Structure 1
Amino acid sequence: RQELHPGDVVTYIVDRNINYTNVCVADCQFCAFYRRPKHAEGYVLSFEEIGRKIDEAKQLGAVQILMQGGHNPYIPFDWYLDLLRYIKRHHAIHIHGFSPSEVDFFSTRFRLSAAEVIRALLAAGLDSIPGGGGEILVQDVRDRVARKKAGADRWLEVMEIAHGLGMKTSVTMMYGLGETLADRIEHLVRVREVQARTGGFTAFITWPLQPEHTEMEGTPKTDAITYLRTVAIARLVLDNVPNLQASWVTMGLKVGQVS
């Protein structure tokens, strides 16, 4: 860490998470956010609503938006491209959006290769890709809790394709899904191997499952010590990833400071 970031100072940016739709057909067991198609609480934000959220964020000093959403089968591909163009036309802000799971969904839904999807998003204004949907990159685990979403190999493949096209990305790990410690290490090693080939990951973020209001409600929650140990191990394994992001929103400010 001292070689990459000398001193005892850490940095942060102000950004805002914008979920453009909560309609989703992935049916992940750990998700409290999504609603099935035609559910009364399902929504798709208008461009103007998204623009207002960006304005609010910029007034608080935001320089980036994290933009993700559900796998909504009713939104055409041009909508996403038009959204990116709209944002870039009206706002000077970094767009960190569309996880590998979303890219894979677009690829399948619109019969495009992942490279074609990413090229189109890049041309429309996307600046970088978040690591959403990574969970645990071990297929047995994903088959239990997120079997309709991009598999472990595909998730990593999309990331490698993005890196090959010059797109930087973050990478994540959500633990506490019933995986073993060996599964967590396998996840980290796979990330390290991709990074050794591409150098495209800018930051690693990890956090524990939040089971409330999900199909996994009742799953024992992990504690702050487990989180700090996970961060420490990630630092050792992922010495080729230049930044580690503290999950203070999930873990609380004090634990975030310690991490």
Structure 2
Amino acid sequence: MLRTSSEILRPIREKVEAGERLSFDDGLTLYSDAAPLPEVGELANLVRERKNGDAGYYNINTHLNPTNVCVYRCTFCAFRADLRSAKGYLMDEEQVRARGQEAVDNGCTELHIVGGLHHQAKYEWYRGVISTLHESFPELHLKAWTPVEIDWFSRQTQKPIRWVLEDMIDAGVGSLPGGGAEIFHPEVRNKICEHKADSTRWFETHRNAHQLGLRSNCTMLYGHIEQAYHRIDHLIRLRDLQDETGGFQTFIPLAFHPDNTGLSHIKKPNALMDLRTMAVSRLMLDNIAHMKAYWIMLGIGTAQCALAYGADDIDGTVRHELIYHDAGAETPEILSVEQIRQLIEEAGREPVERDTLYHRVEREGNAWRTGEAIAAAK
């Protein structure tokens, strides 16, 4: 039996204890200041432990952002560069292969690949990033391209999204990241990223990916101009697609970082907002197995706390992360495996190394193999 006692949470507490789905209005209640955060966290922790016990998952991964030049000018982005900017870059095949070699040399199981939409880079260049890595390092799982990028490739090739996904799978893509979701509601999306792929295209991409057998992550960028009802709308749209396809494996709430963006006048969300958003997400997304506390964005201390507020995953070593550090993230650029395991243990959880698809990793130094799949309750 839970210790929560607030009257405002009584109906929600009864639903959670019975394993019943929460409504839109329940979500708004959870975001209300009248709902005590410790009690919301306690409810989320109940769901977290039902699904994942005491496990604190992590992986050993490297990020690859092959270009930062981008045709879009999203208000919230500090990573992008103009075509002729001194900041802009475009990796060649040798640089891409070197990043893959670095990942292998450091025992990584995953390369996380996203970047800008370069004005002059052809589709074949983007496909070549994947094929080069897959042919050179077949043991690396390539988690690549958000729906925004897939939509751009579809426009470049004048082919359907499904064709692009099939071609990228043939090149070596193993799963999709969850970026580009931001906030789905048009009241917000049209203000912060009006020209790039809309929510319809985002969902079309993930629906097709799931139908083709790809697993994917999903995200929400919070703490900028959106309100609570925009967030709950966002979460329910994700829940609805998961009901349909079952293809999402992890949800990552992404805290907005305002530095060097067009929204630099906004204060970034504080730790209380971060923990409430994690907990509300865990409670609303009853059909997604895992919740990730992305330490790069949350900060190490808040990420640790999040392991008691619904999160069961801390992400990984995250070599070469650029996007959020460009926006003012003050977290380290990399954590060692020892540091990650320690912060999970300090939070009272059991460190479990996983691969991208949530198979347990058995390791001897940099040599590794996957064991059985990690089962999570529905």
CA distance in 2, matches of 1:98, 1:219: 28
Among candidates 165, 172, 182, match of residue 212 of structure 2: 165
Matched, 1:202 2:246: no
Aligned position for 1:216? 263
Aligned position for 1:26? 72
CA distance in 2, matches of 1:203, 1:56: 26
Aligned pairs (5 A) from 1:63-82: 63-82=109-128
Q: Does structure 2 conserve the Cα–Cα contact (< 8 Å) formed by 1:67 and 1:97?
A: yes
Which of structure 1's runs of 4+ aligned residues deviate more than 6 A? none
Match of 2:49, SS state, is coil
CA distance in 2, matches of 1:117, 1:58: 27
Among candidates 89, 95, 98, match of residue 135 of structure 2: 89
Aligned pairs (5 A) from 1:169-188: 169-188=216-235
Match of 1:95, SS state, is strand
Report the number of matched residues: 258
Q: Give 1:140 shift.
A: 1.7
Matched, 1:42 2:100: no
Superposed CA deviations along residues 164-191 of structure 1, whole A, max 9, x for unmatched, are: 1111110001112201100000000000
Among candidates 13, 32, 51, match of residue 97 of structure 2: 51
Give the number of the structure with larger relative contact order, counting CA–CA contacts within 8 Å between residues 6 or more apart: 2
CA distance in 2, matches of 1:82, 1:57: 18
- Give 1 or 2 for the bigger CA radius of gyration: 2
CA distance in 1, matches of 2:219, 2:144: 14
Q: Give 1:109 shift.
A: 2.2
Q: Give 1:81 shift.
A: 2.1
Superposed CA deviations along residues 20-40 of structure 1, whole A, max 9, x for unmatched, are: 001101100111111122223
Supply the AA of the counterpart residue of 2:175.
S
Supply the AA of the counterpart residue of 1:180.
Q
- The two structures have a TM-score, normalised by structure 1, of 0.96
Supply the AA of the counterpart residue of 1:113.
P
The two structures, once aligned, show a CA RMSD in angstroms of: 1.2
Match of 1:116, SS state, is helix
Among candidates 272, 279, 283, match of residue 225 of structure 1: 272
Match of 1:35, SS state, is coil
Aligned pairs (5 A) from 1:101-250: 101-250=148-297
171-180 or 39-48, larger mean C-alpha shift: 39-48
CA distance in 1, matches of 2:158, 2:188: 27
Q: Does structure 1 conserve the Cα–Cα contact (< 8 Å) formed by 2:217 and 2:250?
A: yes
Superposed CA deviations along residues 103-133 of structure 1, whole A, max 9, x for unmatched, are: 0111112211100110100111000011111
Q: Give 1:199 shift.
A: 0.3
Unpaired runs of 5+ residues, structure 2, are 1-47, 307-378
Supply the AA of the counterpart residue of 2:86.
A
Q: Does structure 2 conserve the Cα–Cα contact (< 8 Å) formed by 1:73 and 1:109?
A: no
CA distance in 1, matches of 2:194, 2:146: 17
Match of 2:52, SS state, is coil
